[in-house]
Amino acid sequence: MKPKVFFVVGPAGSGKSSVSKFIARQNHAAYIDKDTATTGFTELLLELHGFDKNERDNNEYYQTVIMPLEYETILKLCRDNLALGNSVVLDAPFGKYFSNEDFLTEVHARYYWPEAEKIVVHVHVDGEEMRQRLINRGYHRDEWKLHNWDAFWAKAQSVDCAWKSAHHVAFNNNGDGIDTTEFDRVIEGIDAEMARL
């Protein structure tokens, strides 16, 4: 059976990391978190170019130079794991790339990915719960989001992922526990479909 790539997407504070780690445990998959893999060089590059290390949301240098490098890094790490036959969970927002419906096909070709079943997990949470999570985690990089909450929340709600060549699964992450009933049902269906091929 082909390995799977789970793209766990959603805005900051939606609970991507908790959901991603859960999926990685359930599927014995490699877990790649964009922040863990890239924060060291991201902060260094921002400071070397005269920016605050947490200034990302409205920083053109970050958006056009550093962020593409962050995604290139995690997509190459994903390729290396897929080449070993390992399924992978990618924990990153990917929002900038949602409008490109051929994004996954382009990634597959650009980074020489082996065949893999692609699953996009859309993590959803109510606005007030997300805002409270951002407050509770206390990251400096979330300050702009909290100070500009209405604009951030409106943008978070208006972004739709147009990616083709993947299964799309909604994951409601409201509340304290993770309810996987619907997610498990969809993944079982994907596994059954893969087994028939």
Domain ranges of the chain: 4-196
- The reported pLDDT for the residue numbered 185 is 79
Q: Tell me, what's the pLDDT at 133?
A: 83
CA–CA gap between residue 90 and residue 177 (Å, rounded): 21
CATH T-level topology, domain 4-196 = Rossmann fold (3.40.50)
Contacts of 158 (CB under 8 A, 6+ apart): none
Phi, psi (degrees; rounded to nearest 5) at 127: -60, -45
**3-state SS assignment for residue 96:** helix
C-alpha count within 13 angstroms, C-beta hemisphere, residue 164? 5
**Would you write out the chain's pLDDT as a tens digit for each of its 197 residues?**
799 999 999 877 778 888 999 999 999 999 999 999 999 999 999 999 999 998 887 899 999 999 999 999 999 999 999 999 999 999 998 989 999 999 999 999 999 999 999 999 998 887 787 788 888 888 877 787 888 877 777 777 767 899 999 999 888 777 766 667 777 777 778 778 777 76
Provide the pLDDT for residue 64: 96
Distance, CA of 67 to chain centre: 13
> For tokens 């390995």, what's the residue?
3
Evaluated on CA atoms 74, 16, 127, 137, the torsion sign reads negative
Around Cβ 182, how many Cβ atoms within 10 Å? 12
In SS3 terms, 115-126 reads as: CCEEEEEEEECC
